Structure 1
């Protein structure tokens, strides 16, 4: 390790030279209280910024702040956000061309996620971030680089990486809020609930492009008949609305908050920042939003419980298409979610295929069942819960046919929920349906076995894995559209999914089977759920660094994805092949 003054001498020597001379900075430097490691130096001021790390060996954070994995994730998230605040506080106007002067750390948005940008242990605190080394045109600005590395960075590190310099009350609140959310989530199953929305929660967001809370929004207030009290880690009682297991309808007029409530529930699988308004909107971790997705690819999915013998297709127990319709895509999305381990499905009529959700009595009379290959979800929803333990939460503003199937009916009126289950049942009794139940046989599906060689992360001989925003994953020659996988919230999750698919392609089969037989690898004899278990358990054990492909060690820009979004991405690969 070099003394920090070596940076000054290098920068004086290369000042004004061509940009590639910055490569001389690569190495590690001793700053006394911390070490600065320059791992990768950009070769052009317009390229992605250089990758740096800071290692603080005298970890000053009390051990109780990261003694459990839950607390560790919350603390690391807080430090990353403190580092970002430090960047904003100490960085003045950038000068130079391209990405000159940029200092960036992945610190997330409203959700608190496990990230690769900060890692804390009893021995060390490690921060991973990017710096755009400054240039005028493509000539090195040595004095500006010296200012960044020798003055601004130490100020940011002092501000954010030492416990004694951080507001302890705010830090403690951040960790406790995260810990409380996890603890509440752990109680849902025992209480027979799929979700909990605390009184006082703020559900509406600022705008369609901002996930911050809407100012002056109506606070959530639970109806007395659905009110439950839950206990936090600190033994404080929290009161709010519990959504029971089973079939739940959310009804109400347009613009009264139905979809807003469902959106809060679907993102309740994540924990949110203190002050977000959704800190205590808690949903079971296995909730998956289901929607129609015209045009998506489907690979040998058993949709026979919903679609049987459509014209020109025949057997649908191994249904494949390059261009799914609304109904077939929604059927496939359900089966794929169950295959990944979900027991909680969320639907909004606005994004569902009407003919998949309901076929009313008049349509049954006009179009006989022998001419209709679709079994509507209404004829499976109760069976899914009673026989398979799969709950459903559905926003329904236009059809009352589901009243007979619902266990709970919540009406949103001026953004406030009301329990109208008894009223809905009364309506159903007074206006009985004469439609026929059209489900044939028991609900079932065949498991699939993905073939790792069908995942192609290389373009030629070059590994090509990256995200373009939240909604697009580049993997090899293909760009996967994830815009309708609605529970992805960050591009860093999308990138991590790409790395997870590479891990499956390259290493999974031999690790799972205990040997490296290529023959076993190509059999494709491991279920998708087993692949997801392997990835999840490995991240739990080794952290996100486990996913790093060769040549991308110590990634700075990953956030943990859920198993359900990994599965959704795999299922949208145009190259995927499976055995079933």
Structure 2
């Protein structure tokens, strides 16, 4: 056992410890850790197991008077619904593990409680370790956890090979407990299990579960329509987190998506730096250049246009869009309004005029939730109608309506899909040597005098990912300036994560147990929203 950082006093953040435990003691068979996916799943399972065990110990003391004994709590970063590459428990290739935890060293007022500290560190902590032994496990439950994760990882690769953007297994439970919760809906609630329409049904054979069937959404332009509260957004939300593996019992274990699908929203007031948004917005008043556009306070349409282009820059393969969270004037334009505000007076080229071009020229798919507009009917490859949480294919019906009730929308010349790679100016990124940086919660980070708002990043699913995002920005800030594009820098960091783990970017303490792996796309999205960030386009 090693102490990596000691708190300054009882009210400071807790001290960090790590324990190196050999598999000669744990005695896990090789099959539990023989590949990377299984090691991640085993470490995740151990993190959950140990976190639950610590809660039953209830060691810490709180409250009371100033001189009352406080502290003593042992904690580990507790995972949620997602099985991510995390640092709370790291399983090595030989089966040895590294357990990372925090301890609130006890004190009375400002006086160290030495005897209580000794009891916690020399008795309670060592005696908590046997819970991790192989012989202490429900082996069937453990293997189900590992095999489920491996099946999900396999399925994600299979759907990409079959040119699908997403797959939703029959029997999945998509609704969540509440709008801000990832937990499945309460068992006592009425739940409609997902069942694929026969037109979209496809099957895959997985290494452990065997054959699985469900709805496959192919590459192309897909509309999800239906009345309010019938499950449109619920389906889209399940698709957006299909980039991650889930724990058994989540209900969405076998809802998987292409690893690079990106949810795009409008964000009034967001920061934009040197982005070529000319494919969506051009010919602004006073000849303002949109091929290298910057603003500290973007409108809804401008922010969403920038987000589309920024996602393309770092390798997005599909856009997920919800009409309710979008700038309507960027998605489509009404026929009557086009007659009043003619195309030569309107700087915005609506997404509906670009979606097919994005698909043909960039192989970039679209899945969009719509409830108020039929503007996309003409260009849709697939229309799914949700009726009381049951999906139905109604592509032909939508096409017929489009042909009978033509809108005669005036579409602009599609024009080029301008997406210019950018070179980050690294000195513009704050680092911890000169800026106080604090993760406030999952979607908010304090950078000195300003805040980084990540509320639009729906695919950041836990605060431990935010910790890595912030650490990665700090790592990038310390790199030597070069002519590498943002995508090239992120690809190198992805390689470091693959080969050395999340510790590769840690500047000081190498044993932070509160980290879980985000996608490079979310790291780029965070950097793009950093108000000090500066960049130059590659052709400048």
TM-score of the pair, normalised by structure 1:
0.88
Q: Check if 1:530 corresponds to 2:497.
A: no
Give RMSD over aligned pairs: 1.6
Matches of 1:494 and 1:312 in 2, distance apart?
A: 39
Residue of structure 1 equivalent to 2:4: 39
Which residue is 1:106 aligned to?
77
Q: 1:424 to 1:74 in 2, by over 3 A?
A: same
* Alpha-carbon distance in structure 1 between the residues aligned to 2:311 and 2:140: 40
1:469 Cα deviation from its structure 2 partner? 0.8
- The alignment status of 1:79 with 2:46, answered yes or no, reads yes
Q: Deviations over 1:274-318 (max 9, x none)?
A: 001011110111010001011011001000010002113522000
Contact 2:224/2:370 (CA < 8 Å) preserved in 1?
yes
- Aligned counterparts of 2:69 and 2:219: Cα–Cα separation in 1: 53
Unaligned segments of structure 2, at least 5 residues: none
Partner of 1:13: none
Does the 8 A contact of 1:493 with 1:558 survive in 2? yes
CA distance, structure 1, for counterparts of residue 183 and residue 70 of structure 2: 28
DSSP 3-state at the match of 2:385: strand
Cα distance in 1, alignment partners of residues 147 and 11 from structure 2: 41
The answer to which of 462-471 and 528-537 deviates more is 462-471
- Give the Cα–Cα distance (whole angstroms) in 2 for the partners of residues 150 and 313 of structure 1: 71
Alignment of 1:217-236 (within 5 A): 217-234=191-208, 236=210
1:287 to 261, 265, 275: 261
Written as runs of structure 1 = structure 2, the 5 A alignment for 1:408-487 is: 408-458=382-432, 461-462=433-434, 464-475=436-447, 477-487=449-459
CA apart distance, 1:109: 0.6
User: Is residue 176 of structure 1 aligned with residue 133 of structure 2?
Assistant: no
1:378-414 CA-to-partner distances (Å, cap 9, x unmatched) read 0001111012100000000000111111100001110
Q: 1:61 maps to which residue?
A: 28
| Number of the residue aligned with 1:252 | 226
Matched, 1:133 2:105: yes
Secondary structure of residue in 2 paired with 1:392: strand
Question: 1:415 Cα deviation (Å)?
Answer: 0.9
The residue that corresponds to 1:368 in the other structure is 342
Match of 1:149, SS state, is helix
User: What residue number does 2:504 align with?
Assistant: 546
C-alpha deviation, 1:372, in angstroms: 0.4
| 1:577 paired residue number | 534
Check conservation: 2:222, 2:382, Cα contact below 8 A.
yes
Deviation of 1:99 after TM superposition, in Å, equals 6.4
Residue 205 in structure 1 maps to residue 176 in structure 2: yes
Aligned equivalent of 1:274: 248
Q: 2:122 aligns with which of 150, 158, 164?
A: 150
Is 2:136 the counterpart of 1:165?
yes
CA gap of 1:558–1:436, structure 2 versus 1, over 3 A, is: same
Equivalent residues of 2:42, 2:146 under 8 A apart: yes
CA distances 1:222-244 after superposition (whole Å, capped 9, x unpaired): 11111111111226111111111
Distance in 1 of aligned mates of 2:296 and 2:209: 53
Partner Cα distance (2:413, 2:333) in 1: 12
| Alignment partner of 1:504 is 2:476 | yes
Q: Which has the higher contact order (CA 8 A, sep 6+)?
A: 2
> Higher Cα Rg: structure 1 or 2?
1
Equivalent pair of 1:465/1:499 in contact (CA under 8 Å): no
- Contact 1:60–1:162 at 8 Å: present in 2 too? yes
Q: Residue 442 of structure 1: CA displacement?
A: 2.5
> CA separation in 1, counterparts of 2:287 and 2:532?
21
Mean Cα deviation higher: 244-253 or 94-103: 94-103
* Cα 1:47–1:99 shift into 2, 3 Å: farther
Distance 2:57 2:474 in 1: 38
Would you say how many aligned residue pairs link Structure 1 and Structure 2? 527
Report how far residue 89 of structure 1 moved.
2.2
Q: 1:518 aligns to what?
A: none
CA distance in 2, matches of 1:291, 1:392: 13
Aligned to 1:22: none
In structure 2, relative to structure 1, the CA distance for the partners of 1:98 and 1:566 (3 Å cut) is farther
3-state SS, counterpart of residue 346 of structure 1: strand
Q: Is the 2:59–2:73 Cα contact (8 Å) retained in structure 1?
A: no
Q: Taking structure 2 as the reference length, what is the TM-score of the superposition?
A: 0.94
Q: Offset at 1:486?
A: 1.3
Aligned equivalents of 2:153, 2:274: Cα separation in 1? 36
The secondary structure found in structure 2 opposite 1:449 is strand
Give the Cα separation in 2 of the matches to 1:291 and 1:199. Answer: 29
